[in-house]
Structure 1
Amino acid sequence: MNSYNFADIIRSSAARAPLSPAIIAQGRTINYGELQSRTNQAGNLFAGLGVEPGDRVAVLFINDFRFLEICFGLMTIGAVPVPMNSKLGADTLAYIYRDSGSRLLVYHSSMGDKAKIIHQEADVAASVICTTESHPDDHGLNSLVYDEILSSQDTQLDLYPTRGGDLCLLPYTSGSTGNPKGCRLTHSGQLWNVTAIAEIRDLQQEDRIVISLPLYHKNAMLSMKAVFYSGSSAVILPAPEPAAIFHAIGTHRATYISGVPALYRMLVTHLKESSASYDLSSLKYAICGSSDTPVELLEDIKQWMGIEVYEGYGLTEGGPVVLESRKGLHKPGSAGFPLPGCSIRIVNETEADVPEGTIGELWVSNPGVADGYWNLPDVTRKRITSDGWLKTGDMAWQDDEGYVYIVGRKDDMINVGGENVYPKEVENILLQHPHVEDACVLPVPHELKGEVPVAYVVLNHPTDREEIKRFFIERGPAYAHPREIYELDAFPLTGPGKVDRTRLKQMLAEQLQKGVGKSI
């Protein structure tokens, strides 16, 4: 794989079946032949604007199929797309633009307000606006109009001969602590990951996925890469709205879906509360990742949607997908097995491997691991060993059959008077309560114990907080019980649909500052 351009996955599928559908979105169906032509046009467009191999280009978008042709068009000419999380604040987006050294900003017209601030704070030299309007409002940025330029571009373009180890994509981590970090993902590493995913999911040309999560996030973006590699197809929705998702499944005969626990909880709740009838008979399975999935939710999905759920685990710099369950090889609550070609270690504080059943930090090694963090050599040395092992910062254990279980972030562990308490383990017990719909456990300072757990919960029926505490103590270790229970109507979510623990920590700090819970 000395010379390989990842954008070839679209060309290969187009060569096999040019008339086969690739994307269904925004009221149209785009086949692989058309997708290749549009991707080539996008590559020619950016080359004409002076973008050269190795240049970074920031892409700020909503769920629009043009996001994909833009990213792959940039890869085609050897440039590097920098997909931006559109939910981030404009100041953070401006930081990402500056830090990545992006040459150009490509943005959707709905992101115009943020694009204006990025222009001002990051001194953007040139930008391209993507819109369906004839005369879009670009907030006085003098942006070039993507669709106007695209239509005049040649549909033929030779792939730039990147080496497999060259930079393919530069996504930034969420930045829950400090500034976001750019993850250097290579062409060969991305090919390994989609090849492995397509293999364990047994993706065929006739398979079809419904995607409603943001395309910039690894969950949806990885699914789209696997679609293009396998020559299958995707229905892309603008937002995760349950009725629209179920309608798309029935209308387009989708064979599987992928999402995060918060999305599946929305889907199950809708089925429980709605009188509408949906045809889900085409679905074969669901993929759930990006966050811990309670066993109770898995059982609800199986009961209400009639499908098995295969859990997975990954992180932006890790492949991105590292572990995934598969047909005939899944246990509720486990993230599954390493992908073919991926090795793992679970180590203690001295970096020695721990025995089966023992919790330790998960390390991973595979061809998709980032070859470093952008502009952060010290962080790279700290997180990635000289022989290529990524220290994930996630705590896990492995059973005697090889199944891996993720218990939470190393930084989230709560030391209660010398006893290690992992939030997920407390949350799993709370979720067994029939009236607890969702739970998130956080630490607070304690005069004697050092720190103790408290819990935010979403209830489906009014319930006494002391009764929830008693429920926990009857089923779990007393030292791990949440000392206080705070009720919310719904949890704040991040852009990709995960529980926003950072926001909950802020809310908890505000409550403690006001005196709520000071008796803990």
Structure 2
Amino acid sequence: MNTYNFADIIHSSVSRAPSSPAIIAQGRTISYGELGSRTNQAGNLFAGLGTQPGDRVAVLFANDFRFLEICFGLMSIGAVPVPMNSKLGADTLAYIYRDSGSRILVYHASMGDKARIIQEQADVVSSVICTAESYPSDFGLNSLVYDELLPSQNPDLDVYPTREGDLCLLPYTSGSTGNPKGCRLTHGGQLWNVTAIAQIRDLQHDDRIVISLPLYHKNAMLSMKAVFYSGSSAVILPAPEPAEILQTIETHRCTYISGVPALYRMLVTHLKESSASYDLGSLKYAICGSSDAPVELLEDISKWMGIEVYEGYGLTEGGPVVLESRKGMHKPGSAGFPLPGGSIRIVSLLEEDVPAGTIGELWVRNPGVADGYWNLPEVTKKRITEDGWLKTGDMAWQDDEGYVYIVGRKDDMINVGGENVYPKEVENILLQHPHIEDACVLPIPHALKGEVPAAFVVTRQPIDKQEIKRFFIERGPAYAHPREIYDLHAFPLTGPGKVDRTRLKQMLAEQLQKGESTPS
């Protein structure tokens, strides 16, 4: 096996152009030379605390550039960062800490309350706090202070020679059902994924991305890896605020943006409703992924932001990016093609390949697929075949030209009296209605059919629910029409900005229990 440490992507960019900007965040510009030195210092800091190659270190952070130097500093010494979803409850975070076997908790001062609970529940022996300008002297967590320790560390570091198959990163899936699962991502797999992304996006050193999604999430983290690999730069914002994102694009002449549908919906709504104007002429394209994007939204992005939108698909254990469209190879509604070096299958319930145009489960195989789930050999055996195919649990179909279309989760399929109904197909028809801004379809019990669709919708103005049903039946199969329609001002979102289907399921159950037709 070749030896290659994934953190070398930063050091390679340092050697090519040390004075070029790498990160613009928190009121400062950090060059590659400075980023390389700080990353080395972070590695030396944790090595000095006794961190050994293979040790896991949990990282609980806000959108702060130090999250990146800490993660890559840990990789540099052969340790394994465990990026934690800061939107999760403290009990779940404590579970992740224990399950991963982390030996240190590194956290941002703004996460102090959750860090305290993690320390109590997971018996954390050692913790490191990253502060802002100052921090309370009575913080009470007995933590070492990163900002005080870092300046004393040597800015030179002998990068640990990891092998391609060594563990590089241990992110945990969201755990919508049951506990989150750790995904074993390797150094070689991450290098393949970021090399392929930089290639199909044609990233150059003068490209610049704006990032507002959480850095712990695969969408933002993958983009940052591609930035470091290509020697380009990123503007990192603390949160996805539409006006700030658009002003940042104008001020810093960003050349592309990556996000989830909910983020773009906010941007388009702001551009429609705000009297402010923004110069977005520097933008070349947008990447939209992580969840389904209606064609109507893609058209709105193109119209209001003046750019092409390329869609993609990925999952934490899948690379993470598996599919992406690109210039000259894009059809609205399609997630595109497998990345160079990756393969897919679409299979039936009997796990046999299906013909083009037929919906089946998407299987993927590429060098970036996780080499298993942490401490879950039975789940690994069930989800990943002996010859390396990951069963994604997502339903998809492929057209005659090879474009792949994602239709939803296998578990979300609604069986209406023997007819298979996929929520995305119902949502796409509802979104054609001029008064519906967003839609999410879920199953409800039915005495004769077993289960039928119900729809939550976000509308531009009050709607007639019977008229919406008629609208659907005129355009889609009658058996798939939503029997109940619930109008909301906005959908609940997860930390990465996806529609929180778990919360909507809870709301739906509450309404069904009450026997009401409209949620409160």
The two structures have a TM-score, normalised by structure 2, of: 0.99
Q: What SS class does the counterpart of residue 151 from structure 1 fall into?
A: helix
CA contact 1:198–1:230 (8 Å) conserved in 2: yes
How far the C-alpha of 1:21 sits from its partner, in A, is 0.5
2-side partners of 1:113 and 1:462: how far apart?
41
Determine the structure 2 residue equivalent to 1:162: 162
How far the C-alpha of 1:106 sits from its partner, in A, is 0.2
2-side partners of 1:450 and 1:172: how far apart?
34
Seq. identity, % = 86
CA contact 1:113–1:139 (8 Å) conserved in 2: no
Residue-by-residue CA offset, 1:36-76 (whole Å, 9 max, x unaligned): 00000000000000111000000000000000000000000
Determine the structure 2 residue equivalent to 1:231: 231
Residue-by-residue CA offset, 1:221-266 (whole Å, 9 max, x unaligned): 0000000000000000000000100111001000000000000000
1-side partners of 2:286 and 2:39: how far apart?
29
Determine the structure 2 residue equivalent to 1:123: 123
Q: What SS class does the counterpart of residue 152 from structure 2 fall into?
A: coil
Residue-by-residue CA offset, 1:488-511 (whole Å, 9 max, x unaligned): 100000000000000000000000
Letter of the 1:12 partner, please give it. Answer: S
1-side partners of 2:268 and 2:141: how far apart?
44
Letter of the 1:340 partner, please give it. Answer: P
Which structure 2 residues correspond to residues 9-408 of structure 1 after superposition, within 5 A?
Answer: 9-136=9-136, 139-408=139-408
1-side partners of 2:179 and 2:279: how far apart?
44
1-side partners of 2:244 and 2:391: how far apart?
39
2-side partners of 1:500 and 1:135: how far apart?
33
Q: What SS class does the counterpart of residue 2 from structure 1 fall into?
A: coil
2-side partners of 1:461 and 1:512: how far apart?
25
2-side partners of 1:297 and 1:194: how far apart?
27
1-side partners of 2:486 and 2:138: how far apart?
44
1-side partners of 2:360 and 2:197: how far apart?
26
- Aligned CA RMSD, in angstroms, stands at 0.8
Determine the structure 1 residue equivalent to 2:8: 8
Determine the structure 2 residue equivalent to 1:425: 425
CA contact 1:212–1:245 (8 Å) conserved in 2: yes
How far the C-alpha of 1:135 sits from its partner, in A, is 4.0
CA contact 2:109–2:135 (8 Å) conserved in 1: no
2-side partners of 1:121 and 1:462: how far apart?
47
CA contact 1:116–1:139 (8 Å) conserved in 2: no
Determine the structure 1 residue equivalent to 2:411: 411
Letter of the 2:159 partner, please give it. Answer: L
CA contact 1:104–1:124 (8 Å) conserved in 2: yes
1-side partners of 2:282 and 2:109: how far apart?
36
2-side partners of 1:418 and 1:80: how far apart?
47
How far the C-alpha of 1:137 sits from its partner, in A, is 5.2
CA contact 1:23–1:236 (8 Å) conserved in 2: yes
Letter of the 1:330 partner, please give it. Answer: H
Letter of the 2:425 partner, please give it. Answer: E
CA contact 1:209–1:258 (8 Å) conserved in 2: yes
Letter of the 1:13 partner, please give it. Answer: S
Residue-by-residue CA offset, 1:330-369 (whole Å, 9 max, x unaligned): 0000000000000000000110000000000000000000
How far the C-alpha of 1:139 sits from its partner, in A, is 3.5
2-side partners of 1:379 and 1:58: how far apart?
23
CA contact 2:486–2:517 (8 Å) conserved in 1: no
2-side partners of 1:133 and 1:212: how far apart?
22
Residue-by-residue CA offset, 1:72-118 (whole Å, 9 max, x unaligned): 00000000000000000000000000000000000000000000000
CA contact 1:129–1:138 (8 Å) conserved in 2: no
CA contact 2:342–2:365 (8 Å) conserved in 1: yes
CA contact 2:193–2:319 (8 Å) conserved in 1: yes
Q: What SS class does the counterpart of residue 345 from structure 1 fall into?
A: strand
Structure 2, unaligned stretches of length 5 or more? none
1-side partners of 2:2 and 2:351: how far apart?
33
Determine the structure 1 residue equivalent to 2:514: 514
Residue-by-residue CA offset, 1:442-486 (whole Å, 9 max, x unaligned): 001111101000000000011101111110000000000000100
How far the C-alpha of 1:138 sits from its partner, in A, is 6.6
How far the C-alpha of 1:134 sits from its partner, in A, is 3.6
1-side partners of 2:403 and 2:91: how far apart?
41
CA contact 2:18–2:33 (8 Å) conserved in 1: yes
**Shift in alpha-carbon separation, 1:423–1:460, aligned structure 2, 3 A:** same
1-side partners of 2:490 and 2:432: how far apart?
18
How far the C-alpha of 1:401 sits from its partner, in A, is 0.5
How far the C-alpha of 1:516 sits from its partner, in A, is 1.7
**Shift in alpha-carbon separation, 1:288–1:3, aligned structure 2, 3 A:** same
1-side partners of 2:137 and 2:60: how far apart?
16
CA contact 2:128–2:146 (8 Å) conserved in 1: yes
Determine the structure 2 residue equivalent to 1:469: 469
How far the C-alpha of 1:136 sits from its partner, in A, is 3.5
Letter of the 1:414 partner, please give it. Answer: I
1-side partners of 2:117 and 2:463: how far apart?
46
1-side partners of 2:270 and 2:92: how far apart?
34
How far the C-alpha of 1:22 sits from its partner, in A, is 0.3
CA contact 1:109–1:136 (8 Å) conserved in 2: no
CA contact 1:204–1:230 (8 Å) conserved in 2: yes
Determine the structure 1 residue equivalent to 2:503: 503
1-side partners of 2:502 and 2:64: how far apart?
28
2-side partners of 1:135 and 1:270: how far apart?
36
CA contact 2:318–2:369 (8 Å) conserved in 1: yes
1-side partners of 2:260 and 2:232: how far apart?
22
1-side partners of 2:340 and 2:147: how far apart?
40
Residue-by-residue CA offset, 1:308-350 (whole Å, 9 max, x unaligned): 1000000000000000000010000000000000000000011
How far the C-alpha of 1:132 sits from its partner, in A, is 1.8
CA contact 2:207–2:255 (8 Å) conserved in 1: yes
1-side partners of 2:358 and 2:134: how far apart?
61
**Shift in alpha-carbon separation, 1:137–1:307, aligned structure 2, 3 A:** farther
Determine the structure 2 residue equivalent to 1:455: 455
2-side partners of 1:393 and 1:357: how far apart?
18
Letter of the 1:150 partner, please give it. Answer: L
Structure 1 segments (4+ residues) deviating >2 Å: 133-139
CA contact 2:194–2:225 (8 Å) conserved in 1: yes
Structure 1, unaligned stretches of length 5 or more? none
1-side partners of 2:292 and 2:150: how far apart?
42
Letter of the 1:291 partner, please give it. Answer: S
Q: What SS class does the counterpart of residue 163 from structure 2 fall into?
A: coil
1-side partners of 2:114 and 2:49: how far apart?
22
